[in-house]
Amino acid sequence: MSELNQHQYFEQAMLPHLQAAFNLALWLLHNHADAEDAIQEAYLRAFRHFDSFRGGDARVWLLAIVRNVCYTHLQSKKVRVMEEFNEELHGADCHSNPMQAYHHGDPALASLQNADKQSINLAIAQLPTDFREVIVLRELEELSYKEIAKIIGVPIGTVMSRLARARGLLKDALTKEFAPGSS
């Protein structure tokens, strides 16, 4: 392929996914300027390594690069406070017992239904990065578990457990006032 064709082919493959890439970068980095830097770096990196893209899923390929760049940014800025999820702090027993949830009845469900934009965005923003990214990829990009696993570079089982934990945390955050023990 000539250089010029390669260039056109690259743009054609990447352009439709830049929006998703930018959205992911902004959700991961919380900051417009950082997201712009990250996407710029990722785009150049993608262009340089376009040879390694063998016509698979361009979106997955680009998002994996963007994610890597974002994580490097986070590490260098030491923003990523929570490296590993703290099991004790967010133990499963505080939110995953269905009977418990069932007993506080409809107010909790109603608060999920009526949650406003601001509280939902805040709840997502406050998730640890590992959980925030699966929520963004699943709920905003509507990617499959397999695609998410490829982007993050973990087994599908890990995607499932992170998604479950992330949703548990979001549910807790949005129904806080109805959680047992909070009153």
Provide the b/e sequence for 118-127 (b: ≥16 CB within 10 Å).
Answer: eeeeebbeeb
Q: Which is nearer to other proteins, 98 or 181 (CB)?
A: 98
55 Rama sector, left if φ>0, alpha if ψ -120 to 50, beta otherwise: left
Q: How far is the CB of 99 from other proteins (least distance, A)?
A: 5
Other residues' Cβ atoms within 10 Å of the Cβ of residue 79:
14
The window from 37-45, 63-71, 74-82, 83-91 that contacts other proteins (CB under 8 A) reads 37-45
**Two tokens, residue 70:** 């974002």
108 near other proteins (CB under 8 A)? yes
**Two tokens, residue 120:** 């939902």
The window from 4-12, 61-69, 73-81, 83-91 that contacts other proteins (CB under 8 A) reads 4-12
Write the single-letter amino acid at 35: A
Residues that bind other proteins (CB under 8 A): 3-4, 7, 10-19, 22-23, 26-27, 35-36, 39-40, 43-44, 47, 96-99, 101-102, 108-109, 112-113, 115-117, 120-121, 124, 135, 138-142, 144-145, 160, 163-164, 167, 170-171, 174
